Amino acid sequence: MPFPSKDWIFEKLSTYRGFSYLLPIALMTMTFYKETEDELIIWPLGIGIALLGASIRLWGTKHIGRRMPWVKKKEKILVKTGPYAMVRNPLYIGNLFIAAGLSIVSELIWMVPFVIFYLFVFYHLVVLYEEKKLSERWGAEYAAYMKEVPRWIPNVHHLQRARGGGFEWRDALHSEIPSFYVNGLGVLIFVVKEILSGIR
């Protein structure tokens, strides 16, 4: 049986990228080693960083129309407004902040860099595949966009052009409900873990 090609592997990573949280969440749920017990700092800091990530995702969703079924009925365009005017992958950047926040809430501060590194490598591989597909679809327009807008480090000089446009905020909120559920479940898991840790 031939070994799967690189494109096949990248395609599968892209297809199942929504499950990328499962491994770190599972590890943090089962690990009690060197927990940081200062709840007055850990919980506000972790929740705050996770909310920042959720806000970045919400802003990106407002412009890209992710999971909005009515978008399929409209003419597809290359989105270059909102956060996409400053960076090409705001949704994944939002996910990294959310993962960092949840890692802090788990009280396993030492795991934060490992979780971020794991997810960054995962998303980077996904992005390489997605960029190839977008280049095939949009051609010279996407090539020009890639030259102008960074992949990971936002260009704050483009902040002015990031304002306005996109869908209604209520539509973006509705679209992000599944993400809110997943992140809320993560917080709930760590609340239960904290309770069980106190009982032990």
Mean pLDDT of the 64-92 span: 77
pLDDT tens across 128-149, in order? 999 999 999 989 999 999 999 9
Whether 111 maps to a domain, the answer reads yes
Integer angstrom CA distances of residue 167 from 20, 60, 71, 176? 27, 10, 10, 13
Closest to 77 (Cα-Cα) out of 94, 64, 60, 90: 64
The whole model's pTM is what?
0.87
pLDDT above 90: residue 91: yes
Total domains in the fold of the chain: 1
Q: Is the dihedral of CA 159, 164, 167, 171 positive or negative?
A: positive
* 61, part of any domain: yes
| 18 within a domain of the structure (yes/no) | no
Inside any domain, residue 86: yes
200, pLDDT greater than 70: no
Q: What is the pLDDT of residues 119-130, one digit of tens each?
A: 999 999 999 999
- 106 assigned to some structural domain: yes
Identify the pLDDT of residue 70: 47
Residue 144 in domain = yes
Average pLDDT of the chain is 86
> Poorest-confidence range of 1-5, 44-48, 54-58, 109-113?
1-5
Residues spanned by the domain of 191: 38-199
Q: Does 14 map to a domain?
A: no
The band of 3, judged by pLDDT with boundaries at 50, 70 and 90, is low
